[in-house]
């Protein structure tokens, strides 16, 4: 068995033994020892069974070069273990101590303007710095050697939210190595980047720089490769510390916390380097669509892990402190957010952080145990969640099956949003969220997959915006369509190759046959109306905006055409058997009509028989034998269900309909209905 397989099994064993993990970041080094005993007592009271220790403890462990202050860590690990609380022990490499940057300025990152960042905050390290990496290795190795066999330690956590970008000289050298590996020789790179444009030809790799400040636009292929390199460099930092922990004899699972659709790390390449996927999620309580947005992120996390359960490693229990204006979460909202993650495949619900910091930059960031102490709604909410999670242990390890894939690729996102394109108003993430919302409103989960991944398992495949599309991905879409899947493709897709060079021919070149249509250009558009074909779409008028292609059908039927203006009569939405194409950014009603048409054609429906679109704000998702119903809206919702289901959270049995009050959650168990 590979060490990764056995480490994953160790995670599953922990969950089986303890139930769903519940806890958060715990920073005892920021508090006097007296507080630790109170912490542990209150953790037990709240049902906390898992904490991440030491994320920012480098300067405490190594206050001066070479020092190793372990006594405090020995003591707290023992205390946590005596109290049955499992520890996710962090290699504390995210925030190096101030002395390191002073003694070795080369560890400090340089921004694109050439400014070297200094200590006094956190994250001041360059992932390319060999000096930083040597010091990070040393402390991680010593930590792992000391604690690999400690019974409290059930997981390892490397760094924190890897995302540092460096433009300094060492980064330039590393970037060149990376480019050499990718392109082989300089002429191949010149061709891939088309450096004949604007006289950018390089005679040797040594002439190439990271994209620092330039007088005008940077070569988009250079920029794309730098983003790829930066993600790979961060991953290398993670992987060498993971290997150091393993080499010290640790058998526990090792992970690092992801950040959803984070712009500086391509998690498709990271996913199989961690033993368990873990993610930090901070939906904004001020955003009315945050429930579907975070559901999409949760579907991504599940998909990254190949469908296996994942960990919600950080979230906030009330307000964060880093937005311009920070709305709190009510305890009910915080509970719903946690249960939503469980519904969508999480086996661990953790917070940043256990005890609110009494000073420091995050003094106003909420925590499970707030400044106000235990006599607070926040702490009572913490305890309630601990109790709720115990009731849900039956879902641990269960999967969230789906027949729908939504394609997403970091490279495509990066390249598709380089400046100097037809419109800056087209946002990959916005389109992804809009498309996903049609699924979410129907209670249909999606696997978020890379276009080059196998697509055979899916009956509906959504491609909101695949700017870069490989010939292999185009072929697998065509294969899926031939096998009976419905494929829906959005505008400005299949535009470029892997080097961000525009494919030559009528677009989308590689998908032209599949969609039975083609276009000659992409252009920003003024808002305009659509004329819908009889029988297609909603009764309300529909519109198009942002970007339009001058589509010509070549066998496809026209479901909607532009109406009025320069584009009058030009097809905007087409269908060619199982392939649907949108040649413009269309309004919500038209988009929803396309997606629901594809779902219906594939006979894919939501988890509640007879209900297509769920009541406003209601989320429905089935995990294992449990139907979760979460009301994110402001009105009561009611849906038909099988009579006699058992609500794991309330202990009630259902009649043939179930009501869900605003903010409330039901977890209806089919398996248990027979037993109770």
- 442, 599 in Cβ contact below 8 A? yes
Considering the complex, state which of residue 327 and residue 502 has its C-beta at the smaller distance from ligand GLA.
327
C-beta closer to ligand GLA: residue 170 or 314: 314
Cβ-based nearer residue to ligand GLA, 160 or 219: 160
Site string for ligand GLA, 361-390 (x = CB under 6 A): -x--x-------------------------
Give the Å distances, CA to CA, from 585 to 13, 357, 549, 562: 47, 45, 10, 11
Q: Interaction with ligand GLA in 306-365: which residues (CB under 6 A)?
A: 314, 316, 320, 322, 352, 362, 365
Cα 34 to Cα 502: distance, rounded to the nearest angstrom: 64
Secondary structure letter of residue 496 according to DSSP = B
280 binds ligand GLA (CB under 6 A): yes
Distance in Å, CB of 94 to ligand GLA, minimum: 8
Consecutive H or E run containing 231: helix 220-247
Helix (H, G, I), strand (E, B) or coil at 491: coil
Tokens of residue 36, six digits: 């630790």
Sign of the Cα pseudo-torsion (131, 137, 142, 143, in order): positive
CB of 23 to ligand GLA, least distance (A): 14
Please say whether the dihedral angle defined by the alpha carbons of residues 311, 313, 318 and 321, taken in this order, is positive or negative: negative
DSSP output for 127-166 = TT-HHHHHHHHHHHHHHHHHHTT-TTEEEEEESSS-----
Q: Residue 329, SS3?
A: coil
For residue 107, give the H/E element and its range: none
In sequence order, which residues have a C-beta less than 8 Å from that of residue 535 and are 6 or more positions away?
none
Q: Which is nearer to ligand GLA, 95 or 574 (CB)?
A: 95
* Strands 571-576 and 579-582, bridge-based pairing: antiparallel
Count of residues that bind ligand GLA according to CB under 6 A:
11
Residue 157 C-beta: closest distance to ligand GLA, Å: 10
Q: Considering the rule CB under 6 A, would residue 161 count as an interface residue with ligand GLA?
A: yes
* Nearest to ligand GLA of 161, 447 (CB atom): 161
CA–CA dist 269, 348 (Å, integer): 23
For 629, the enclosing helix (H) or strand (E) is strand 626-631
Closest CA to 338 of 276, 400, 381, 373: 381
Evaluate whether 7 touches 275 at the Cβ level (below 8 Å).
yes
Q: What is the dihedral of CA 94, 168, 192, 414, to 10 degrees?
A: 40
Supply the minimum distance, in Å, between the C-beta of residue 56 and ligand GLA. Answer: 7
Cβ-based neighbour number of residue 301 at 10 Å: 25
Torsion angle of the four alpha carbons 122, 126, 129, 131, in this order, in degrees rounded to the nearest 10: -10
Extract the tokens encoding 401: 């099956």
* In the complex, minimum distance from the CB of residue 309 to ligand GLA, in angstroms, rounded to a whole number: 21
Q: How far is the CB of 307 from ligand GLA (least distance, A)?
A: 25
Q: Minimum distance between the CB of residue 57 and ligand GLA, rounded to whole angstroms? A: 12
Choice between 223 and 316, CB closer to ligand GLA: 316
The residues that are catalytic are 161, 314
β partners of residue 201: none
Q: Is 281 in the site for ligand GLA (CB under 6 A)?
A: no
Question: Which residue lies nearer to ligand GLA by CB, 121 or 504?
Answer: 121
- The CB-of-316 to ligand GLA minimum distance in angstroms stands at 6
Radius of gyration of the chain measured on its C-alpha atoms: 26
Specify the DSSP element, H or E, that contains 546: strand 543-553
> Smallest distance from the beta carbon of 52 to ligand GLA, in angstroms?
10
Residues 632-661 as b or e (16 or more Cβ within 10 Å = b): bbeeebebebeeebbbbbeeeebeeebebe
Q: Which is nearer to ligand GLA, 367 or 649 (CB)?
A: 367
Kindly state the tokens that stand for 458: 């899916």
Show the site string, 480-499: x = touches ligand GLA by CB under 6 A, - = not.
Answer: --------------------
Distance CA 606, CA 440 (A): 9
Residue ranges in 625-664 that form contacts with ligand GLA under rule CB under 6 A: none
Q: Round to the nearest angstrom and report the end-to-end CA distance of the chain.
A: 39
By beta-carbon proximity to ligand GLA, the closer residue of 160 and 195 is 160
Q: How far is the CB of 92 from ligand GLA (least distance, A)?
A: 12
Binding-residue pattern over the window 435 to 474 for ligand GLA, x denoting contact by CB under 6 A: ----------------------------------------
> Are 300 and 260 contacting, i.e. CB atoms less than 8 angstroms apart?
yes
d(CA 133, CA 156): 18
CB of 314 to ligand GLA, least distance (A): 5
**DSSP-assigned letter for residue 280:** E
Q: Which is nearer to ligand GLA, 205 or 282 (CB)?
A: 282
Token duo for residue 65: 């070069």
Q: Considering the complex, state which of residue 315 and residue 563 has its C-beta at the smaller distance from ligand GLA.
A: 315
Residues that bind ligand GLA (CB under 6 A): 160-161, 280, 282, 314, 316, 320, 322, 352, 362, 365
């Amino acid at each position: 068995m590979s060490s990764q397989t056995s480490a994953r099994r160790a995670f599953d064993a922990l969950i089986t033994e303890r139930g769903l993990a519940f806890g958060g970041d715990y920073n005892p080094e920021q508090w006097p020892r007296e507080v630790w005993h109170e912490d542990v007592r209150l953790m037990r009271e709240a049902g906390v069974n898992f904490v991440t220790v030491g994320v920012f403890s480098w300067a405490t462990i190594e206050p001066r070069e070479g020092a190793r202050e372990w006594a405090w860590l020995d003591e707290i690990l023992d205390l946590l273990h005596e109290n049955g609380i499992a520890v996710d022990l962090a290699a504390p490499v995210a925030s190096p101590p101030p002395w390191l940057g002073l003694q070795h300025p080369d560890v400090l990152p340089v921004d694109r303007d050439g400014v070297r960042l200094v200590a006094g905050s956190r994250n001041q390290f360059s992932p390319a710095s060999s000096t930083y990496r040597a010091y990070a290795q040393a402390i991680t190795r010593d930590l792992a050697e000391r604690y690999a066999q400690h019974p409290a330690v059930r997981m390892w956590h490397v760094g924190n939210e890897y995302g540092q970008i460096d433009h300094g000289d060492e980064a330039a050298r590393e970037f060149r190595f990376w480019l050499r590996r990718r392109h082989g020789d300089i002429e191949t790179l010149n061709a891939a980047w088309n450096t004949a444009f604007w006289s950018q030809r390089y005679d040797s790799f040594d002439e190439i720089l990271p994209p620092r400040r330039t007088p005008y636009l940077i070569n988009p292929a250079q920029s794309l490769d730098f983003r790829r390199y930066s993600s790979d460099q961060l991953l290398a930092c993670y992987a060498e510390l993971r290997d150091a922990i393993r080499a010290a004899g640790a058998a526990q699972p090792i992970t690092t916390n992801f950040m959803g659709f984070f712009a500086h790390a391509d998690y498709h390449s990271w996913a199989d380097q961690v033993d368990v996927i873990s993610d930090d999620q901070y939906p904004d309580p001020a955003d009315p669509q945050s429930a579907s947005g975070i559901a999409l992120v949760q579907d991504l996390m599940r998909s990254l892990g190949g469908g296996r359960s994942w960990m919600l490693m950080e979230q906030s229990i009330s307000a964060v402190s880093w937005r311009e204006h920070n709305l709190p979460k009510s305890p009910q909202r915080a509970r719903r957010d946690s249960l939503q993650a469980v519904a969508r495949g999480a086996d661990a619900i953790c917070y940043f952080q256990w005890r609110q910091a009494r000073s420091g930059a995050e003094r106003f960031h909420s925590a499970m145990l707030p400044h106000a102490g235990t006599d607070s709604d926040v702490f009572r909410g913490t305890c309630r969640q601990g109790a709720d999670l115990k009731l849900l242990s039956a879902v641990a390890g269960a999967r969230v099956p789906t027949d729908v894939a939504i394609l997403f690729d970091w490279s495509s996102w990066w390249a598709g949003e380089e400046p100097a394109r037809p419109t800056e108003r087209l946002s990959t993430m916005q389109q992804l969220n809009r498309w996903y919302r049609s699924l979410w409103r129907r209670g249909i989960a999606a696997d978020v997959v890379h276009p080059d991944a196998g697509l055979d398992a899916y009956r509906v495949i959504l491609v909101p915006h695949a700017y870069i599309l490989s010939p292999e991905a185009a072929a697998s879409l065509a294969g899926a369509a031939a096998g009976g899947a419905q494929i829906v493709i959005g505008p400005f897709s299949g535009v470029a190759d892997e080097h961000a060079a525009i494919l030559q021919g009528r677009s989308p070149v590689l998908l032209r046959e599949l969609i039975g249509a083609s276009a000659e250009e992409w252009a920003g558009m003024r808002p305009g109306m659509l004329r819908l074909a009889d029988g297609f779409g909603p009764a309300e008028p529909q519109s198009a905006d942002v970007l339009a292609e001058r589509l010509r059908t070549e066998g496809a039927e026209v479901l909607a055409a532009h109406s009025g203006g320069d584009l009058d009569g030009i097809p905007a939405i087409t269908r060619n058997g199982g392939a649907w194409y949108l040649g413009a950014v269309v309004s919500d009603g038209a988009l929803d009509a396309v997606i629901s048409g594809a779902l219906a054609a594939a006979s894919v429906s939501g988890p509640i028989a007879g209900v297509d679109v769920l009541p406003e704000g209601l989320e429905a998702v089935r995990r294992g034998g449990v139907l979760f119903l979460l009301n994110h809206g402001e009105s009561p919702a009611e849906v038909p269900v099988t009579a006699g289901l058992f609500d794991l959270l309330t202990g009630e049995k259902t009649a043939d309909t179930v009501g869900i009050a605003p903010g409330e959650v039901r977890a209806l168990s089919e398996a248990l209905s027979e037993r109770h």
